[in-house]
Amino acid sequence: MKKVAITLFGISVFAGLGYVAFAKTPIGKSSLIKWLLKKWSEAAKKKDKELDKEQLKAELQKLKYNDLEMLVAFTWSFPVLPEEKYFKEATKQKFEKKYKKLIEEKIFKTADLSQMENIVFPG
């Protein structure tokens, strides 16, 4: 029993330190930005729009790691802005809740993500 407890403790400490190192170093931030740019480029292609990736990357660099995590969570749930006719009530409520959280954190005031309007975010 002691070996199992020690092993689990070691794993949790290692995982926690890994997360802190990932979140507090530029490596974590750059990998989240890279993932967002990839997903947003795919979404733009679906909507037949072009993105200025360099400008988007510069704007995303202005955000904190936690803000980027929220954008990743939003994009993970809604990779492309659904059309109004395809919104079910439960999906609409989830979308509005996540979008409201992005607004409350002032992400759109910190970084100019207007390129993503009508692609991922409502215009």
- CA 51 to mean position of chain CA atoms: 17
What is the helix, strand, coil percentage profile of the chain, to 5? 75, 0, 25
The identity of residue 55, as a single letter, is Q
Tell me: the pLDDT tens digits for 5-60? 888 888 888 777 777 777 777 888 889 999 999 999 998 888 888 888 899 999 99
- Mean pLDDT rounded to a whole number for the chain: 85
pLDDT-derived band of residue 85, with 50, 70 and 90 as boundaries? low
Domain residue ranges in the chain: 30-116
